[in-house]
Amino acid sequence: MVSVTEVILAIVLVFAGFLVISLLATLLGFLPAIVAAVIIYFLTGSLLYAGIAFVVIAFLWALLRHK
C-alpha cells in the first residue's frame, strides 16, 4: 500500500529532478558565454569587463541559435 507521504515525496522528487535538468540545460546553453567571461576575468581581473563579455556573447549566441 502506498501512503500519502510517499506520493507527495515522489511528486517533490520528480519536480526537483525536472528543476535540476532544466538548470543544467540552461547552463550548458550559456557555456560559451561563461567560458569567455571567465577568460576575460582572469586576463583583466575586472568583473565589469567579464560581465560585459558574458552579456555580449550570450546575446550573439542566442541570435545564432535562432537562425
* Residue range 4-56, pLDDT digits in tens: 999 999 999 999 999 999 999 888 888 899 999 999 999 999 999 999 999 99
Q: What is the pTM of this model?
A: 0.66
| pLDDT score for 17 | 94
What single string gives the DSSP state of each residue in 7-51? HHHHHHHHHHHHHHHHHHHHHHHTHHHHHHHHHHHHHH--HHHHH
| pLDDT score for 67 | 63
* Count of the separate structural domains present in the chain: 1
> 17 CB contacts (<8 Å, ≥6 apart)?
none
Domain extent at residue 48:
4-66
Cβ neighbours, 10 Å, residue 54: 20
